Amino acid sequence: MRLGIISALHEEQQGLVEAMERPYKLMHGMREYFLGQLWEIDAVCVLSRIGKVAAAMTATTLVEKFGVTHILFTGVAGAGAPSIRVGDIVVAESLVQHDMDARPLFPRFEVPLTGLTHFSSDRHMGLQLADAAQRFLAQDFAAAIDPQERAVFALSGPRLHRGLVASADEFVSGRERIQALGEAFPGLLAVEMEGAAVAQVCFELGIPFGVIRTISDNANENAATDFMRFVKSVASRYAFHIVRQFCLGINASSLP
């Protein structure tokens, strides 16, 4: 197994690169790829930057140039429904591109010539990610997140959700907009800007993948407020510990 780990924002990736044993940095296509061992897993960490094209290019390069066999995307997202709270964790089971619209040639949201609107993530990776997130919440959360930051963001008893994630080249920051998306996609858990692009690339290349997101905002008018503070002090800690638990889980499950 060689695991490609994509993050959209620098703060989310930094801790992972620091945790790598003997990292080796390679530049390609305006991105830095860090190769090394993460908790005994052969890994390649990279920042995709933001948006679907950026994410698709990064995922493709990971597979074609760096030979990864699995891809994991860690990042933050806006809440897709009122029941999803800031600090909750979402593991994507399926992903949709909510800005895809080739009507009248193809049905709305269908990715032309694939016949699909929803792309499924790898079931096994999804289960391992959900386990890793549960272990993070139970074992690491209390010590990993500064109590003051916990109070600022009102993080009390964060929960794990599994289901639908919608991506687009759009930062969703309006109450009516997120409500309309919730109506268009029943069961919507989170909105972000990369996951469904990675999903399409992995579908086309036959690579198992998983997407895990920490909810950073409510995708409403306040979405941009404190966004960077949340990423720095909360989401970066989530990403580090969840990936750590994920790698430890893989090691344990592959034991005879």
Three-class DSSP category at 190: strand
Shortest Å distance, C-beta 160 to ligand SAH: 18
Shortest Å distance, C-beta 78 to ligand SAH: 3
Q: Is residue 219 close enough to count as binding ligand SAH by CB under 6 A? A: yes
**Mask: binding to ligand SAH, 50-79, rule CB under 6 A, as x and -?**
x------------------------xxxx-
Query: Of the two residues 191 and 242, which places its CB atom closer to ligand SAH in the complex?
Result: 191
E strand residue ranges, the chain: 2-7, 21-28, 31-38, 41-47, 70-79, 89-97, 118-120, 160-167, 188-192, 209-217
Which of 149, 217, 221, 226 does the annotation list as catalytic? 217
Q: Which stretch binds ligand SAH (CB under 6 A): 13-21, 88-96, 127-135, 214-222?
A: 214-222
CB neighbours of 157 closer than 8 A, spacing ≥ 6?
Answer: none
Which of 12, 88, 93, 192 does the annotation list as catalytic? 12
Distance CA 54, CA 126 (A): 23
Please confirm, yes or no, whether 217 is among the known catalytic residues: yes
Please confirm, yes or no, whether 149 is among the known catalytic residues: no
Shortest Å distance, C-beta 76 to ligand SAH: 5
Q: Is residue 8 close enough to count as binding ligand SAH by CB under 6 A? A: yes
Q: Which stretch binds ligand SAH (CB under 6 A): 15-23, 65-73, 117-125, 186-194?
A: 186-194
Distance CA 1, CA 19 (A): 19
**Mask: binding to ligand SAH, 148-177, rule CB under 6 A, as x and -?**
-----------------------xxx----
Q: Is residue 88 close enough to count as binding ligand SAH by CB under 6 A? A: no
- The footprint of ligand SAH on this chain (CB under 6 A) covers a number of residues equal to 19
Query: Of the two residues 1 and 228, which places its CB atom closer to ligand SAH in the complex?
Result: 228
Per DSSP bridges, beta strands 160-167 and 89-97 are parallel
Distance CA 117, CA 55 (A): 18
Distance CA 195, CA 200 (A): 9
Question: What is the crossing angle of helices 236-253 and 123-135, to 10°?
Answer: 120
Distance CA 70, CA 116 (A): 22
Distance from the first to the final alpha carbon of the chain: 16
Query: Of the two residues 125 and 219, which places its CB atom closer to ligand SAH in the complex?
Result: 219
Please state, in angstroms and as integers, the Cα–Cα distance from residue 77 to each residue in 11, 13, 88, 136, 197, following that order: 15, 16, 10, 18, 15
Q: Is residue 238 close enough to count as binding ligand SAH by CB under 6 A? A: no
Among 44, 194, 237, 247, interactor with ligand SAH by CB under 6 A: 194
Q: Which two tokens stand for residue 24?
A: 């080796």
Q: Which residues are catalytic?
A: 12, 217
Binding site for ligand SAH (CB under 6 A): 8, 50, 75-78, 171-173, 191-194, 216-217, 219, 223-224, 227
